Amino acid sequence: MPDAAYEQGFRAAILDPTAETPAGLTSAFGGMPRKRFDVYRNNVTVSLTTALADIFPAVSRIVGEERFADLARLFVRAHPPESPLLFRYGENFAAFIEAFAPAATMPYLADVARLEHAWLTAYHAADAAPLAPEMLSAIPPEELPHAKFETHPATVLIRSQYAAVSIFNANREERERQRINAGIPENGLVTRPELAVRLTAVTGGDATFLHALMSGNTLAEAAEAAVVADTAFDLSAAIGLVLTSGAFVAVHVES
């Protein structure tokens, strides 16, 4: 059985085309181990690059297939997968893009990648029934300010200084290009209350409100934070969003 040092060297060599064939490697079918290893190494890189393109189709369309493949190969070499489940791959792809100097001309790209990974995470999240309106109405009015909400397993809130949601929607599928003002901030609420993943753009005040609730703050604390962030914040509309978005599964008042 290979020791840990050998496994570590083999793993590193798989993703580095300049690395030597791991010492002691033999071929059960004869021939030169180097050639067979190079084929295997290339297949691994292509498979992971293809997986990233499937996970981040909007990013791929924005930068183009060829440039995306180059970017993905660099990421694969720097961040090999830690799970055999490929749908979990690319969790830190957005951070990689953010630190990648050539991507500085598209500062929104990392947030689009975050939305795409959040979409995939929501798709594979555990099932849970969304918060029913009667659960909220059952709380006495005087206790409502102290209410806390339990977030749905699929819920993710991505806050962006750019029009990440509009750019995501415009590039997620093959559709006609449209002009988007990328400098308009958009926050994306990703949920999956039933079987289909939803992406909803939310305003600054609503985003602050939802983020506060998802962080464990009470309804009153969340509303206060939202008003500070946006003086036009509408609490009634925000509660409506809580109930219709499927972002939460339960509400309770701590005794």
Average pLDDT for residues 89-118, to the nearest whole number? 95
| Confidence (pLDDT) at 1 | 46
Buried b (16+ CB within 10 A) or exposed e, 79-109: bebeeeeeeebbbebbebbbeeeebeebebb
pLDDT in tens, 216-250: 999 999 999 999 999 999 999 999 999 999 999 99
Strands (E), 28-179: 147-151, 156-159
Record the pTM.
0.83
| Confidence (pLDDT) at 195 | 87
How many angstroms separate the CA atoms of 247 and 156, rounded?
Answer: 8
Q: Which residue has the tokens 């992406």?
A: 199
Residue 154, exposed/middle/buried by CB under 10 A (0-12, 13-18, 19+)? buried
pLDDT in tens, 72-92: 999 988 888 877 777 788 999
For helices 235-245 and 219-229, angle between their N-to-C axes, nearest 10 degrees: 120
According to DSSP, the β-strands at 187-191 and 198-202 are antiparallel
Bigger pLDDT: 130 or 41? 130
pLDDT in tens, 180-224: 888 999 999 999 998 899 999 998 899 999 999 999 999 999 999
pLDDT in tens, 139-152: 999 999 999 999 99
Q: In the predicted model, is pLDDT for residue 33 greater than 80?
A: no
| Confidence (pLDDT) at 37 | 57
